[in-house]
Copies of this chain bind each other. A is one copy, B any other.
Amino acid sequence: MDERAALSVVGDAVSAAGDDCAVIDGLVATTDMLHETTDFPDGTTRYTAGWRAVGASLSDVAAMGAEATAALAIYASPSFEAAEIEAFLDGCLDVCAAVDCEYVGGDLDGHDEFTVSTTAIGRTDAPVYRSGATPGDAICVTGTLGRSGAAIRRFEAGEAERANELFRFEPRIAAGRALAPHASSMMDSSDGLARSLHQLSEASDCGMSVAYADVPVDDAVEAVATNPADIRELAIHFGEDFELVCTVPEESLAAAVETSPVALTPIGTVTDDGVRMDGEALSDRGFTHRSSAAGR
């Protein structure tokens, strides 16, 4: 069975599964695994790997509107080189420092492929789920989309320094905290904007209608893309950008935009059904291999 079908098995067995984080008594928790062959292109530094892996889990904490309490990482590798481990830890520590979270260590493990498993723990008394969107709400995204897609192209071109820079990102903890009182639903864009809209739609039992012209595409995308269709692919479907996608009741929109510490861009409106971009059905296609049960 494919991963999406397998996830429904998990959803059936584990009642707490099914959002960016599991929620337990005011705590939120999430865990992710990244691999060299699928997640770290040739040229990814150990510093970027640590930053990005821990950042991915922190992004899930952000998506619940929670503050980040602690993060852990397992560094699994065929060999242990002091310089590599130190660079990796620096990345873990720096991304945590960027969002006022404590990096508390983890585990080392001998493994045939460089693999990183991360966990982040947060706190909130009022988690924001994927399930609260209501027709009429504005659909918004933080920051810009397409950076990770652009990073992949830079890696492919051998431009490792710029690629690594694009591959690191600031988890939207502060934005998530600021938006939580306003947002009716929220998740991160790790599977791509298209998939995120479908997932919010499914969880909230409503539709999503967005305008491509309003989607904030990162400048880095235009610099690497070959044509407009390519730009659209990287911005809408590629994913792995770790921005927040949220819905906000119309009357709270101005306050949400005002309070967000990063640009918050309205891109459309929650509808009764269907996920559409510019009036046409938007394909539910994106970055799926990192999907998960509690932590997708």
Contact = CB atoms under 8 A, between A and B. Distances in A.
Interface of A: 1-3, 5-7, 9-10, 13-14, 16-18, 22-25, 27, 29-33, 35, 38, 69-70, 72-74, 76, 80-82, 85-86, 89-90, 93, 102-113, 115, 117, 119, 121, 289-296
Contacts of A104: 14, 16-17, 22-24, 29, 294
Contacts of A23: 104
Contact of A121 (B29, B38, B73, B89): B29
Given A24-B70, A69-B27, A72-B119, A108 B1 contact: no
A129 to B, nearest CB: 14
A29 B113 CA distance: 25
Contacts of A119: 29, 31, 72, 119
Contact of A105 (B89, B102, B109, B294): B294
Copies in the complex: 2
B106 A293 contact: yes
A290 to B, nearest CB: 8
A236 B113 CA distance: 32
Given A14-B93, A113-B112, A106 B31 contact: yes
Contacts of A33: 74, 76, 107, 109, 111, 115, 117
A27 B121 contact: yes
B31 A74 contact: yes
Contacts of A30: 72
A117 B74 CA distance: 9
A256 B70 CA distance: 32
Nearest first, the 4 A-B pairs at minimum CB distance are A17-B105, A22-B104, A107-B292, A105-B294
A1 B1 CA distance: 40
A17 B104 CA distance: 6
A6 B46 CA distance: 15
